[in-house]
Chains A and B, each alone.
Chain A
Amino acid sequence: MIGEASKGDLVQIHQVILTPEERTANIPECTKRVPYEMWVKGFLLNDEAKIGDTVSIKTFIGRRLSGDLVNVNPVYDHGFGKPRVELISASLRARRRLEEESRNANR
């Protein structure tokens, strides 16, 4: 079932490291307003857990960390993005320009 994990599953945990009140003084207001947070992945040590439970994990190097379970087998979802036409056109124009120059030089 989605949102449930069992022992040994690759999961992601979350912790608030510093609340806004605990944050350092010399930072912009927009940063000071929000908590300082962390996410780490590892293998679930609890027998069973659901999203939001406080759990323990064993990280890739074998350390034990605790936090709220936020994700089970999290996806790497960064991609290649949409091609930018202006960038492709501009660089192809430069290439054509070189080709024309070399044709003219060989004439």
Chain B
Amino acid sequence: MPIDRSYDAVMSRKNEILKKSVGIDYDKFEISPIAFDYEGLMNSPGYSLSEIQAIQQETGVGNTPLVELKNITSLVRSIASPSKGARIFLKDERAEPSGSFKDRRASLSIYYAADRGYKGTVCASSGNYGAAVASQAAKRGLKTIIMQEVFDSRRVGQPEILEKTRTCEAYGAEVWQLTVGPELFYVMLLVVEETGFFNASLYIPTSVLGIETLGYELATQLKEREGRLPDVVVATTAGGGNVTGTTRGLRKAGSDKTIIVGASVDLSGLHMASDEDFNRKSFTTGHSGFSVPFMGWPDRTDVPRNAARTLRYLDRFVLVSQGEVFYTTELLAKLEGLDRGPAGNTSLAAALPIAKEMDQDQILVVQETEYTGAGKLPSSQLTFAKENGIGIRCGDPRDNIPGKTIIIPESPEQIHVEDLDMDKIRRSYIEKTITRAHGYKPTQDDIHFLAEESNSSIESVAEVVEERSEALEAH
């Protein structure tokens, strides 16, 4: 009998397809209706940090320059209070083989896939990760299929994603250009089942462990050069891998006091599965449409347990606007001579107002850049935005409305960050976990787990648990 390829049939086979396609039995790590063995999951591929470094070196990944942004630091100090304005350093990840830090993620997952005998890989990504997978797979001799959400129903595609189609095809991948919708997951399952290829998910342990070298490297480089560890690291956040891997790497380098700031582009009000909203945004990742829901519930992904868990690692979470990132991208080119892709500068845009409030003897590190070129420039993206009805003007970014306007700051003073209430997000995560356990009474071990998961104190978790059980009983 032929396999039923209908939507419902494939979705009902989801778990077995996924298990085979990533080679991980997630059930093994479940402890209770609330807790799972996160470190056990992360250790399951069995690679030490030095082994990961060696694997990455084989395909030219890692060891990117750490550049001090002296002119941008001076600009920040010119608008800061006396004695304020931290030194800003930048990890130039554009020097990776396919032009972004995503090579670190892909390198380890593709090595793992090749080592376990997969003949090819399927990856659902419209961004740099897809390109990184195609590039690493080319080097390791694996076939690649990239699934991209490219077009709205008018068949109009954003220049940045069209560029990703081009680059993936340049690396020899079969690229599926799809219209807007979460059914991408169905298509991915279908193709994974049909081919027996590896699912190079962003959320499997190897895709997160590969970024540990980034955190480790930047701390080691800074220590060698300045004799000290970073006070603050700013990382762009979406699904959470960047923050998770970087922080774990920093800690392995002894940088456990460093404040970790996650930054995203504010796209609030835009629906990620909306055909009409799709081309009203200039950023395809690193935005609040991913980072906010993923932080609140990391397991909303293509594998049962997400290895990327932002809430565990983040100290502060800030939003910036699209116009501020475009402006910062221009500053980086004109003041520091670094022409880099805009989306990768989300964390740099956030870094400017953050450094402004820090002391001059402190150090802030922005941990990525990405390649630039056709489709991936403020000019191409703003041209596209204008064609799609977005109003572009100079002014105060505080007046920005995502999906309606892009406001370019007139001066660096206007770049600002908006803090999200981390305690609220932590609390909501704890509540949601308890609710989803359907009447199960959390044990002390579960409370410890939730404290780690949400980076909260045992007391504050216990308080929420208490409140929830009272509410349930009253119900």
Which chain A residues have a beta carbon within 8 Å of chain B's beta carbons? Answer: 17-18, 22-24, 26-28, 30-31, 33-42, 59-63, 76-84, 86-88, 90-95, 97-98, 101-102
CB < 8 Å neighbour of A59 from B7, B163, B174, B182:
B174
Contact between B174 and A40, CB atoms less than 8 A apart: yes
Q: Count chain B residues whose beta carbon lies closer than 8 angstroms to a beta carbon of A.
A: 64
Q: Within 8 Å CB of A23, what residues of B?
A: 7, 181, 183
| Interface residue B259 (Cβ < 8 Å from any Cβ of A) | no
A2 to chain B, nearest CB (A): 19
Interface of B is mostly: mixed
Query: Is A27 a contact partner of B182 (Cβ separation < 8 A)?
Result: yes
Report the bound CA distance from A101 to B75 in whole Å: 9
Residues of B within 8 A of A41 (CB): 169, 175
A54 to chain B, nearest CB (A): 18
Residues of A within 8 A of B353 (CB): none
Contact indicator B173/A84 (Cβ below 8 Å): no
| B379 contacts A80, C-beta separation under 8 Å | yes
A90 engages B409 (CB within 8 Å):
yes
* Given contact pairs A38-B187, A42-B174, A78-B163, A27 touches B273 in the complex (Cβ within 8 A): yes
Q: Let me know if A60 and B172 touch, CB within 8 A.
A: yes
Neighbour of B330 across the interface among A31, A37, A81, A91, CB < 8 A? A91
- With A31-B180, A78-B374, A88-B330 already in contact, the answer to whether A63 and B174 are too (CB < 8 A) is yes
Contacts of B334 in A (CB 8 A): 91-92, 94-95
Cα A101 to Cα B153 with chains together (Å): 51
A/B interface sample: 18 pairs, CB < 8 A: A18-B186, A22-B7, A31-B181, A35-B179, A36-B181, A37-B179, A60-B169, A60-B173, A61-B120, A61-B143, A78-B380, A80-B377, A87-B382, A90-B410, A91-B331, A92-B334, A94-B75, A98-B74
Q: Give CA–CA (A26, B327) in the complex, Å.
A: 37
Within the complex, what minimum Cβ distance (angstroms) separates A97 from chain B?
Answer: 7
Judge whether B159 and A87 touch: CB under 8 Å: no
Known: A60-B172, A78-B162. A94 touches B331 (CB 8 A): yes
Q: B327, A91: Cβ atoms under 8 Å?
A: yes
Chain A residues with Cβ under 8 A from B81's Cβ? none
Residue B176 contacts which of A31, A38, A83, A91 (CB distance < 8 angstroms)? A38
By the criterion CB–CB under 8 Å, are B159 and A61 in contact? no
User: Please, how many angstroms separate the alpha-carbon atoms of A79 and B159 in the complex?
Assistant: 7
Closest to B120 in A: A61
Contact B275 A83 (CB under 8 A): no
Closest chain-B Cβ to A41's Cβ sits at a distance in Å of 7
**Interface membership of B392, Cβ < 8 A:** yes
Q: What's the least CB distance linking A77 to chain B, in Å?
A: 8
- Which of A26, A59, A86 is most buried by chain B, counting CB atoms within 10 A of its CB? A86
Question: What 10 pairs across the A-B complex have the smallest Cβ distances?
Answer: A81-B380, A81-B383, A91-B330, A81-B379, A34-B153, A59-B174, A78-B375, A61-B143, A78-B162, A78-B159
CB distance from B302 to the nearest CB of A (A): 15
Whether B408 pairs with A86 at a CB distance below 8 angstroms is yes
Chain A contacts of B165 at CB under 8 A?
A: 76
Taking a contact as CB atoms under 8 Å apart, the answer to whether A36 and B178 are in contact is: yes
Please state if B382 and A84 are interface contacts (CB–CB under 8 Å): yes
Q: Do A91 and B333 touch across chains, with their CB atoms under 8 A apart?
A: yes
A93 and B411 contact, Cβ closer than 8 Å, known pairs A17-B187, A37-B178: yes
Sample of 18 more A-B contacts, CB < 8 Å, known A36-B181, A82-B383, A98-B74: A24-B181, A27-B273, A28-B273, A38-B177, A61-B144, A61-B172, A76-B374, A78-B162, A79-B375, A81-B380, A82-B379, A84-B379, A87-B382, A91-B333, A94-B411, A94-B412, A98-B75, A102-B74
Say yes or no: is B43 at the interface (Cβ < 8 Å to chain A). no
Minimum CB–CB distance from A87 to chain B (whole Å) comes to 5
Q: Mark interface residues in B142-169 (1 if CB within 8 Å of A CB, else 0).
A: 0111000011010000010011011001
A63 to B190, CA, bound (A): 14
Does B409 lie within 8 Å of A38, measured CB to CB?
no
Q: Which of A24, A33, A86, A98 contacts B335 (CB 8 A)?
A: A98
Q: How far is the CA of A94 from the CA of B335 in the complex (A)?
A: 8
Contact partners of A84 in chain B: CB under 8 A: 378-379, 382, 392, 408
Instruction: Tell yes or no: B384 within 8 A of A by CB.
Output: yes
- Indicate whether A81 sits within 8 Å of B179 (C-beta atoms), given known contacts A41-B169, A90-B394: no
Least CB separation from A16: chain B residue: B179
B 320-351 to A, binary, CB cutoff 8 A, 1 in contact else 0: 00000011001101110000000000000000
B75 CB contact (under 8 Å) in A22, A31, A97? A97
CA–CA, A9 to B148, complex, Å?
A: 23
What's the Cα separation between A37 and B75 when bound, in Å?
A: 48
Inter-chain contact B74/A101, CB cutoff 8 Å: yes
In the complex, B223 has a CB within 8 A of chain A: no
Alpha-carbon distance between A56 and B318 when the two chains are bound, in angstroms: 49
Contact of B327 among A60, A61, A90 (CB under 8 A): A90
Determine how close the nearest CB of chain A comes to the CB of B14; give it in whole angstroms.
Answer: 13
For residue B182, which residues in chain A have a CB less than 8 angstroms away from its CB?
24, 26-27
Q: Which residues of A contact B159 (CB under 8 A)?
A: 78-79, 81
Write out the residue numbers on chain A whose beta carbons fall within 8 Å of the beta carbon of B6: 22
Q: In this assembly, does B71 line the interface, its C-beta being within 8 Å of a C-beta of chain A?
A: yes
- Residues of chain A lying within 8 A (CB to CB) of residue B412: 94
Q: Is B175 in contact with A90, judged by CB distance below 8 angstroms?
A: no
Complex contact B183–A97 (CB within 8 A): no
CA distance A102 to B177 in the complex (A): 50
